[in-house]
Chain A
């Protein structure tokens, strides 16, 4: 059992058998397409089961069901994160942030007990990063318009001969924006896959009797939380950067009208969910 949990391949190897691994050499194994999809399905199944159980406890005035109470706490946590970083209009991003948080966190938890996990796959992480950064660009365009959003990449508005600096800043900012995908992807992949590699390497020290890598379990558990937090936190920061002008203008508009109706300035917008 220990071998299955800490060193074995369990589902991953079974699932990988149905697909094809392109880079099984040199320790950089990539789980096959089928394997990743099995893991993703497993994570989604865990989420759905938890949500079905939690939904039963929604009828009470106070959530006595522990799973419902946990989701409630997660909601407040994400709300604080969104409102604290993005601002009051950050509430509309809560469902999206919760989906990202839950997918990353549960995937990371899966990585504690199985040989691999969705978040230990570069393709999966890249997909999440592309979704996140793509959504940030979409929100930026919605908030500032196409020209307004892309003019941000050119830096502050300069005049005269200094305008050349804007042309220099623009490609750098575009590359920087594209690199956000890479940074989000590699950070998560490095932490989760690196955790596996560390466990595997340490297990070799105590083979065949002592699973030394098990001592890394608390650190890996901390990594599960921290990585989910970092991903959502950075997403909030990115959204806040592209939408804060809209919010400030909304406040300025309020001031012009003597704070008549604060909520009226915050146009309800549909979240991606």
Chain B
């Protein structure tokens, strides 16, 4: 589009047009001064048609000069300025369009990144929750085991203490019984034999503990 209207005619063509134009201008003036067309112009003027062919020829010359001169002097710069401005505007619009597209791409990339990050965070939270759950289960199991172990140990210790106390009790009872018997019968019986006898008796008479 711009090439069509901005294409300047060659300087030789312009010069040729100007030379022809000047020639026609002078020729028109000369022919008019010589009344060359008088034989045609006077009958026309008599009929109310005031036509002067010298004017016509000269004006054609003027236009032949005017076209290239005005074009190169003003119209070409005007059209160049307008077209450059239009091109600049088109460039600005296309630049804005590409920036808009780039912004859209960035926005979609950003949204994708956000969604990826959210998914990753969700995944991590889920993993942490699962890990915590496992740990809790593990800790619960460990605690239960430790509890069982401690209960068993305590029961064992209780049993052991009980046995120990029972033994001590038995010994004490035997001693008390022997002491009491000794005081009752007033004589010293064979301690070893008596003890053994009492012991056997107590063991036979002992009520088994629950």
Question: Which residues of chain A have a CB within 8 Å of any CB of chain B?
Answer: 19, 22-23, 26, 28-30, 33, 36-37, 40, 44, 47-48, 51, 54-55, 58, 61-63, 68, 71-72, 75, 88-89, 91-92, 94-96, 98-99, 102-103, 118, 121-124, 126-128, 130-131, 263, 266, 268-273
Q: A22-B42, A54-B74 known; A126 and B56 CB under 8 Å? A: yes
Q: How far is the CB of B4 from chain A (nearest CB, A)?
A: 4
- Bound complex: CA of A185 vs CA of B50, how far in Å? 12
Contacts of B33 in A (CB 8 A): 33
Interface range for B:
35 or more
Contacts of B53 in A (CB 8 A): 123
Tell me, yes or no, whether B199 is within 8 Å of chain A by CB.
Answer: no
**Whose C-beta in chain A lies nearest to the C-beta of B74?**
A51
Tell me, yes or no, whether B1 is within 8 Å of chain A by CB.
Answer: yes
Q: How far is the CB of B15 from chain A (nearest CB, A)?
A: 14
Contacts of B57 in A (CB 8 A): 127
Beta-carbon contact of A268 and B73 below 8 Å: no
What would be 9 A-B contacts, judged by CB atoms less than 8 Å apart?
A: A29-B50, A33-B33, A33-B54, A54-B78, A63-B81, A95-B5, A123-B59, A268-B3, A271-B71
- Bound complex: CA of A30 vs CA of B38, how far in Å? 14
Smallest CB-CB A-B distances: 6 pairs: A123-B55, A30-B50, A23-B45, A273-B71, A127-B59, A273-B67
Contacts of A127 in B (CB 8 A): 55-60, 62-63
Q: Which of B5, B58, B70 contacts A33 (CB 8 A)?
A: B58
Beta-carbon contact of A131 and B60 below 8 Å: yes
Q: Which of B29, B32, B49, B74 contacts A55 (CB 8 A)?
A: B74
Beta-carbon contact of A123 and B52 below 8 Å: yes
Q: How far is the CB of B73 from chain A (nearest CB, A)?
A: 6
**Whose C-beta in chain A lies nearest to the C-beta of B62?**
A40
Residues 28-46 of B, flagged 1 when their CB comes within 8 A of A and 0 if not, give: 1100110000100110011
